[in-house]
Amino acid sequence: MLSAMALEQDLERHCPACLSRLPEGARFCPSCGHDSRSSTVLAPESGATVVERSPNRFARDSQLPPLRIAPGTRISVYRFDEVIGEGGMGVVYRAYDEALARPVALKCLHSNLAGDRDIRTRFAREARILSSCTHPNVVKVYDFIEQDYLLAMVMELVEGPSLVQYLAKWRGHMPWPEIRHLFREVLEAVDAGHRQGVIHRDLKPDNILVTGSGDCLRPKIVDFGIARILEGTTYTMSGAFLGTCCYMSPEQVRQPHAADPRSDIYSLGVTLYQLCTGKVPFEGNHFAVMMAHAQEQPVPPSRLRPDLPSELEHLILDALAKDPSDRPPSCAAFRDRLLAALPAATPTSSNFQHPRVIRDGVASEMVLIPAGSFLMGKERRLVYLDALYIDRTPVTNREFATFLEITGYRPTDEDAARFVPHLLGGKLSKRQENHPVVHVSWFDARAFATWAGKRLPTEAEWEKAARGTDGRKYPWGRTQPSPHYANYGNKDGGTVPIGSYPDGASPYGVLDLAGNVWEWCEDFDDPAFYEDGPPNNPRNEQPGQRLVMRGGSYMFGAHALRTYARTSFEPQYRFAGGGFRCARSA
């Protein structure tokens, strides 16, 4: 049995915070990083939040630091609420600053990293540097904490998906205006950091958050300079950054500590490649990807997205040059070339008022659907749309017959025998002129829209035109359907003339959005995209087998009249209950 003196000497060789055995002569515990020579964890002059340590505070409960901090735990003025993310370096918690009454994010290093003395020193240094960065597109660092097993940065809490999650909502086909807007601000933020001497070292879509909504989307870069904390340690190549290798510059592959601003530019080139194509340039296992960055040329992005502007492709490939001197010399130069490759649409004067109704000589009238957000889908998710015009009524037999007479259009697909049989050969009766055209495929509808200088509406545009901004169940409101509002449940009755149900008008005065005929939309059908697609001008361009139709028809019952009811058919399908209307951007 050990004597009291021997027991005391044995305890002195263990960390008083976590009871891990200390190496001979060690001051800092390799398990939790505790400074065994001090009753506090960090000297006040260092600028960190200092918390007094109670003797054996954590030893009473466990010999190891906890993997997770329990909700409700209070450290200094911060209350931990829940885990919101985890990566190779640590865990991110939603927390609450009780002193300043604001929500914050706490990025806590994994305990195996926090026990490394060099990492602790670099962590404190980088936190002080980052707290001086105030760019609106960089997540703000407010404070840092060092207590017992805990190393944490206190950061601005940003609500929103990462850029890789946001890209997934677009199914890898983000629109060019969206890429231009988001990536421009990313480049400006990184350029501001470079001018202050701060290199990110780990730029990738997972480290860029997207916040805001509508036309106010804003990227926010996280973890500026965090990768530097692991430089010179065994953790750099031990798996902490397995996800980073897809974005690593050739010089970082050869010499992990060789990063400079041009390395960030390479990582941004990979990110832009991914935003444009939905894929990174090189895929495979960790080693194969790193070797590819160092030795192989990427597949030209235009092979993955044929409509990629040539100037943009040249910019991406320049940013991915193996030789750093061949890349854009700065993020500012990168930004200028991006804006030249993706010119913005001509801005409309803030004093300009779109007319509520226009006439274009093809359809009788088009009605303005103002820019703004609306509630989409059965779950009523918030979606923003730019202003557009949409036909007040579906395209009629008379209008489509004019198109056929002028253009001589005739489809040649295998289902062409079903193409508008009531119009060909002079069969159209006067009584049928103002009925909606039917027996038209998606291709036929697009051909008419192109001839008329218009397009088909996206699914979101169609739904907003029907639903307005109050989330109504039917175009006319919440009153249950009746023959007073729409032509439905009348399989043997056929279509009726357009505009026959004025009391069924939508909030914008658009007619016949419920019943009479199903209407083709521009989108490929994907229920998941509809339910959880991008919140800003969603349009599903990812090719599929079926295209969306909306609105119900005379053949269907009342359930198809709901503003969120939808169906889909193959694009060449033609039937007696299928028509369309057109739209155009305002």
Catalytic site residues?
202
Name the H helices within 15-133: 111-114, 117-130
For tokens 């001979």, name the residue: 24
C-alpha distance from residue 80 to each of 77, 84, 265 (Å): 10, 11, 36
544: closest CA among 522, 567, 519, 525? 525
584: closest CA among 393, 360, 402, 342? 360
Do β-strands 141-147 and 208-211 pair in parallel, antiparallel, or remain unpaired?
Answer: unpaired
Cα Rg for the chain, rounded, in angstroms?
31
The crossing angle, in degrees rounded to 10, of helices 331-341 and 176-195 is 160
**H or E segment to which residue 506 belongs:** none
> SS3 of 388, please?
strand
For tokens 């395209």, name the residue: 395
Question: 302-309 contacts: CB < 8 A, separation 24 or more?
Answer: 304/276, 304/277, 304/278, 304/279, 305/173, 305/276, 305/277, 308/276, 308/277, 309/176, 309/341, 309/342
- Phi then psi dihedrals of residue 536, to 5 deg: -130, 110
The residue type of 25 is G
Q: CA 464, CA 186: separation in Å to the nearest integer?
A: 31
Do β-strands 566-569 and 578-579 pair in parallel, antiparallel, or remain unpaired?
Answer: unpaired
Burial of 255: CB neighbours in 10 Å, binned 0-12, 13-18, 19+: exposed
**Tokens encoding 87:** 């990566």
Contacts (Cβ under 8 Å, ≥6 apart) of 174: 166, 167, 275, 276, 534
> SS3 of 260, please?
coil
Q: Cα torsion at 497, 483, 472, 462 (round to 10°)?
A: -20
DSSP state of 442: H
Name the H helices within 344-458: 397-407, 442-451
Do β-strands 518-524 and 578-579 pair in parallel, antiparallel, or remain unpaired?
Answer: parallel
Q: CA 398, CA 428: separation in Å to the nearest integer?
A: 8
> SS3 of 415, please?
coil
